[in-house]
Chains A and B, each alone.
Chain A
Amino acid sequence: MSIPSPRNDWILMAVFTAAVLAMPVWLAPIGAAYPDLLQKFAIFGIFAIGFNILFGLTGYLSFGHAAFLGVGSYAAVWSFKLLTMNVLPAVLFGTVLAGLFAVLIGFVSLRRSGIYFSILTLAFAQMSYNLAYSVLTPITNGETGLQLTLQDPRVIDNAISAPGEGLPWTELFGIKMSGYPGFYFCAVMLIIAFFISLRIFRSPFGMMLLAIKSNQTRMSYTGFNTRPYLLVAFVISGMYAGLAGSLLAVTDPLAGAERMQWTASGEVVLMTILGGVGTLVGPMLGAGIIKYFENIFSAYNDQILHGIFAALPDGIEAVVVAVTGLFVGEGWHLTLGALFMIIVIFLPGGLVEGARRIKSFFVRRSLRRHGIRTDQPVTRV
């Protein structure tokens, strides 16, 4: 990565924007350029970018972020049911409600650090999940999940025009929010989310969070009350999750409790570390890769595998199919778990760190050829 400077940041922002908006073009060759998947890239990108603001900057590992995703989804669907199918209020409610929820959970959880914090967030997420399945059924519709119905009041929409036939669709001032329009809506949200994250990284506030991660003791003897800093970071990242959750509802207006399960929290952790914890583009990268491979791997089955390995001799073919068959289709989670381990063991800095290492290897080699010593790492503010 290049040395941060205002100019380089604007370039990064421009490249990111162009790359996101042009995803339908450049992802076409690898077969990922269809709206449903593109929407997922953008949505989980937001989720991971937000998670990274907490984990990457402060080092606090939350195992309960899926709860905010779920809250965002429920809030958005309720906005569709009660008010209007317009997505703006839904996104607003989803984000704000998740933020309020994060204030509550963060206020309590942040009284502890390290693994205690992880367990506290996990406990809160599991409580939310269990309650969503049981007592809160009037709000969450339990196992079935919250869906639109024909009887929904939708007061704003119905005041403006008579309800049409069948279930309505989510829309932005008349534009139907599915397919490519839905993707572009999510993409714009993603770009805004990335921009805010970039600003936080480059702000004094961001530096304070990094300092907390680096040495919390020194922070308090330096005159900082670290808790409000942590709480603000926690709430911001909770709001990102809420935004992602509400966008899930925008592209497909239903919400289920399984979205809040702790395995879902684990997934966003994986996305972040796969791309690179504490890096700007890493989490987006991780989210994209995970969702892409999930999509591809889940679609495979033994028949497709037989097709792929048909060229091999029969006996070997059967073995290869049996082994790879473990990792695809239903076995996608196995791949995910294995990937998790491989990344943590071999590349704790994630893919961005990997790229950096490769680059510095070549840079060093060329410098050494010119007789320049390179043993001191150099970075700038």
Chain B
Amino acid sequence: MDAFLLQVLNGLDKGGAYALIALGLTLVFGTLGVVNFAHGALFMLGAFCAVSLQQLLTISKKIKDPSVTFFDAFKETPYMEIWFGDAGTAIISYSVPLSILLAIPVMLLVGLIMERGLIQFFYKRSHAEQILVTFGLAIVIQELIKVAFGANPIPQAAPPIFAGTAPVGHWIGLGDAVVYPWWRMIYLFFSGVVIFAVFAFLRYTTYGMVVRAGMADRETVGLLGINIQRRFTIVFGIAAVVAGLAGVMYTPILPPDYHLGMEFLVLSFVVVVVGGMGSLPGAVSAGFLLGILQSFASMNEVKNIFPGIDQIIIYLVAVVILLVLPRGLMGRKGVMES
């Protein structure tokens, strides 16, 4: 039972990341009808917003170390500390959550530029061409990141108060063996909040209602004289922000490198397909489901029975689901079936 709970918990945060990426992917697909292979790159860009802010905050100069008295020792000290003392140190240690403030405008801008500059010209082109052009874009973004930040993963620290683990097992009376890193719990909570926010936006604002109507029947909404195009541009921006935020918060869990986007893209596409193309609840539930399944597959007990299952479980599930339920778990009829 302990092990079971532990695996569920371990799968949840990864599932949260999958869900957030898949959510944006589905939103874009459902509204704009575009298959965006560069969506993983947006996740990665978000992660590198966090890296940028951290690097920005830790720009340092060498100053004399006052704690060493018997000779002149110099140490790299960030300007933040020089200028603001302990407050500066605190700000640096919170660079990951602070990056959210940076990532929102940056990702929104990136999304708008991407939609206006490229995606809008592909609404009428075939899905194959959409895949190809966004695949090209993903490579370009990934390589630019490699040029700017190098090829190695850049670790990011979670704020110190979230550094330890939460005694989840103790709370629910299952023994002290079940612990869960605080930051992962934050991530899970965070993805829940973002998912909730997106759904609330779609459900309770008139803006969101138009978007949902557009997802259901684009032509009719266009006929109503609503400028659906502009709204869809903003939807793309929102999807970019959601992916970016997912990336920012994920950095303490997985140090980002330029490959991050592609890895998550392939998996998220599988998630979207499993959830059902065009279904937002499908994307979210499939995200968590696959995250948890992956976590179970990496248990030694499972691996001993099916060697290598942890490497392929997601793909295997995708294949089975697609064959048994052609439209995924919650897909609508007639989406992408031509």
Contacts and interface: CB of A to CB of B under 8 A. Distances in A.
A131 B35 contact: no
Nearest to B144: A334
Contact of A341 (B133, B143, B269): B133
Contacts, number: 114
Nearest to B318: A123
B318 A334 contact: no
Given A340-B135, A341-B133, A127 B316 contact: yes
Contact of A59 (B128, B311, B336, B337): B128
Interface string A100-136: 0000000010011111101110111011001101111
Contacts of A112: 322, 326
A126 B315 contact: yes
A262 B336 CA distance: 22
B139 A336 contact: yes
A338 interface: yes
Contacts of A344: 129, 132-133, 136
B98 interface: no
A336 B143 CA distance: 10
A159 interface: no
B312 interface: yes
B140 A338 contact: yes
A79 to B, nearest CB: 25
Interface in B300-328: 307-308, 311-312, 315-316, 318-319, 322-323, 326
Given A119-B273, A119-B318, A331 B143 contact: yes
B95 to A, nearest CB: 28
A333 B316 CA distance: 30
A266 interface: yes
Contacts of A123: 270, 315, 318-319
B285 to A, nearest CB: 18
Interface in B123-156: 125, 127-129, 131-133, 135-140, 142-144, 146-147
A59 B323 CA distance: 21
B132 A340 contact: yes
A122 B132 contact: no
B70 interface: no
Contacts of A113: 337-338
Given A112-B322, A120-B319, A333-B143, A131 B336 contact: no
Contacts of B269: 119, 122
Contact of B336 (A114, A133, A326): A114
A333 B315 contact: no
A134 B309 CA distance: 10
Contacts of B142: 333, 337
Interface string A130-154: 1101111000000000000000000
Given A120-B319, A135-B307, A269 B132 contact: yes
Contacts of A348: 125, 129
B213 to A, nearest CB: 24
A374 to B, nearest CB: 26
A31 to B, nearest CB: 25
B71 interface: no
Interface in A60-118: 61, 108, 111-116, 118
A352 interface: no
B133 A131 contact: no
User: In which size bucket is the chain A interface?
Assistant: 35 or more
A59 B277 CA distance: 20
A126 B311 CA distance: 9
A381 interface: no
B140 A337 contact: yes
Contact of B136 (A108, A118, A122, A340): A340
A273 interface: yes
A372 interface: no
Given A116-B336, A337-B139, A326 B147 contact: yes
Max chain B C-beta neighbours (<10 A), residue from A112, A116, A263: A116
Contacts of A269: 132
A136 B269 CA distance: 26
Contacts of B146: 330
A1 interface: no
Given A114-B338, A116-B322, A127 B139 contact: no
Contact of A133 (B137, B311, B338): B311
Contacts of B35: 115
A218 B336 CA distance: 18
Given A108-B319, A115-B336, A334-B147, A130 B308 contact: yes
Nearest to A60: B128
Contacts of A124: 315, 319
B83 interface: no
A122 B312 contact: no
A333 B262 CA distance: 14
B266 interface: yes
Contacts of B311: 127, 130-131, 133-135
A336 B269 CA distance: 23
Contacts of A162: none
Nearest to B331: A116
A334 B132 CA distance: 15
Contacts of B129: 344, 348
Interface string A327-353: 000110110111111001100100000
B121 interface: yes
Contact of B323 (A111, A114, A127, A345): A111
Given A131-B311, A331-B143, A119 B270 contact: yes
Contacts of B136: 337-341, 344
B133 A114 contact: no
A134 B319 contact: no
Interface in B180-197: none
A240 to B, nearest CB: 20
Max chain B C-beta neighbours (<10 A), residue from A111, A119, A262, A269: A119
Given A126-B315, A133-B311, A273-B132, 8 more contacts: A108-B319, A112-B326, A114-B337, A135-B308, A266-B135, A326-B147, A333-B143, A337-B136
10 contacts: A115-B35, A115-B273, A119-B318, A120-B319, A123-B315, A123-B318, A126-B266, A127-B312, A135-B307, A337-B139
The 8 nearest A-B residue pairs measured at CB: A337-B139, A340-B136, A135-B308, A130-B311, A334-B143, A341-B136, A123-B315, A337-B140
